[in-house]
Amino acid sequence: GALLALNKPPRLPVLGRPGELSLDALLPALRRRLGLAAELHVVKAPAREYSGLVLLSSCYHTTKKLQQFFTNARCKGQYPATYRAITVGVPAEVEGEISTGLCWQQQGDRAMVVPVPAPGRRSLARKDVKSTLTRYRVLSATGGCALLQLQPRTAFPEQLQVHLTLLLCPALGDHEHSARVGRVLGVPFLLSLEAAPTRTQVLDEELLSRLGLSPRQLHHLPLHIHLQELVLP
């Protein structure tokens, strides 16, 4: 009917800056290619750095109805979106939940999403901090890496990356938050923001070899978080 599903590559933004390649900028060409009479709207799409399902609609009312459904489902404690991630490190527990407050914080000349472990009522009421929750399950593990299923019950920028970092298992290709996970004698621990400036993710030689990458190529490694499934009413 009115719905169209695509698979988005990582690093393609939904809304780009002027002159930048983006999903939104491609919609008119896609409409012409498919011979559609009506404009296409983005119903649901993964963030710029993520890959995975993009849901488009050629009906304005369908778009609004589905967007409201996704919002209501989260409010009811449901999990309408399921992601997959490859992590560097294997969680201690096979499944569980990651819950923390998240907020934007200025770090030098850039804003970063940071965890707030015990947010106060006032900060939550003022919406300075948002309470977030992600359910995870380990699907497979080998060679010090894991394939995880992730189901966020809340929506906040970079929520999945931060939650995986708090799990001490940052996503493969996370060059934003992975520096916060340090290791002593192979045991991971969480570093403070001040002690862990943003940098290209560091991987051991064995994993680099398995990926067929040199240290110089690491900054090209995309974030391995993929929107795999959406529930529709």
- Whether the full predicted model's pTM is greater than 0.85, yes or no, is yes
Residue 200: exposure state from Cβ atoms within 10 A (0-12, 13-18, ≥19): middle
User: Cα–Cα distance between 44 and 40 in angstroms, integer?
Assistant: 12
* 105 and 73 inside one domain: no
Residues 72 and 125 placed together within one structural domain of the fold: no
Clarify whether residues 163 and 61 are in a common domain: no
- Which residue, of 24, 47, 78, is where some domain finishes? 78
Amino acid at 140: S
Burial readout 101-126 (b: 16 or more C-beta within 10 A, e: otherwise):
bbbeeeeeeeebbbbbeebeeeeeee
Measured distance CA(64)–CA(2) in Å, rounded: 12
Task: Assess whether 87 and 167 both reside in one domain.
Answer: yes
Same domain, 141 and 61: no
Q: Can you give the pLDDT at residue 197? A: 81
pLDDT at 108 over 80: no
Same domain flag for 70 and 96? no
> Over 80: is that where the pLDDT of 107 sits?
no
Q: What is the pLDDT of residue 215?
A: 87
- Residues 74 and 162 placed together within one structural domain of the fold: no
Pick the last residue of a domain from 56, 78, 100.
Answer: 78
List the CATH number of the domain containing 39: 3.30.70
Q: Are residues 102 and 217 both part of a single domain?
A: yes
The verdict on 126 and 25 lying in the same domain is no
What average pLDDT score do residues 161-165 get? 97
- What is the C-alpha to C-alpha distance for residues 1 and 100, in angstroms, rounded to an integer? 39
Q: Which residues contact 233 (CB under 8 A, 6 or more apart)?
A: 66, 69
User: Do 171 and 100 fall into the same domain?
Assistant: yes
11 pLDDT band, cuts 50/70/90, is very high
pLDDT in tens, 109-144: 788 899 988 888 888 888 889 999 999 999 999 989
109 shares a domain with 46: no
| pLDDT tens-digit series, residues 168-214 | 999 999 999 999 998 888 889 898 887 788 889 999 899 999 999 98
My answer on whether 64 and 133 are in the same domain is no
Name the pLDDT band for 224 (thresholds 50, 70, 90).
very high
At 186 the pLDDT is 80
Name the domain count of the chain. 2
Residues 60-95 pLDDT 10s: 999 999 999 999 998 898 999 999 999 999 999 999
Supply the range of the domain harboring residue 14. 3-78
Boundary residue ending a domain (78, 106, 138): 78
